Amino acid sequence: MAPAAERGLTLMEVLVAVAIVGILSALAYPGFRGQLLRAHRTEAMTSLLALAAAQEQYFFTHRAYATGLEGSQGGLPISPRTANGRYQLSVSADHSSGYLASATALPDGPQAADRKCTTLTIDHSGTRRAYAASGEDSTAACWGR
């Protein structure tokens, strides 16, 4: 049987192990958070593409673009929030000449930390744009072009 002094871990060894785990976690978390925000951004992209397809169907049937979403007069049957509630959807249209659909991260939601890609848009010609919280164009970083 081993003497009592040789069994188990010392307090110093446990503190060193905890410090190493803490440092590794502090280094890894920002990268993980960034990837999580980027993955959730696809929710907005998918919703905007579905909204664009619905606008084209509406135009084919009515010869005009819808001017609103679910619940509005002449609106599309699409909820004003994305499936998981991270983005607010909106559409503005000039009945026959075009529309602009946008998805904006909810200010009190989990996607609000995505300051680089706060608002994503798509228009009647399929042009995709993105804007940072500061209003700066961030299309290339957000839509992945």
**3-38 confidence digits (pLDDT tens):** 655 678 888 889 999 999 988 888 877 788 888 888
Structure tokens at 117: 């890609």
Sign of CA dihedral 130, 134, 137, 139: negative
pLDDT band at 127 (very low <50, low <70, confident <90, very high): very high
pLDDT above 80: residue 72: no
Is residue 110 classed as helix, strand or coil in its secondary structure?
helix
- What per-residue confidence (pLDDT) applies to 36? 85
- What per-residue confidence (pLDDT) applies to 3? 60
CATH architecture group of domain 11-143: 2-Layer Sandwich (3.30)
In this prediction the pTM is 0.76
Residues sharing a CB contact under 8 Å with residue 76, sequence separation 6 or more, in sequence order: 51, 54, 55, 58, 66, 68, 69, 70, 91
Break the chain into its structural domains and give their ranges.
Answer: 11-143
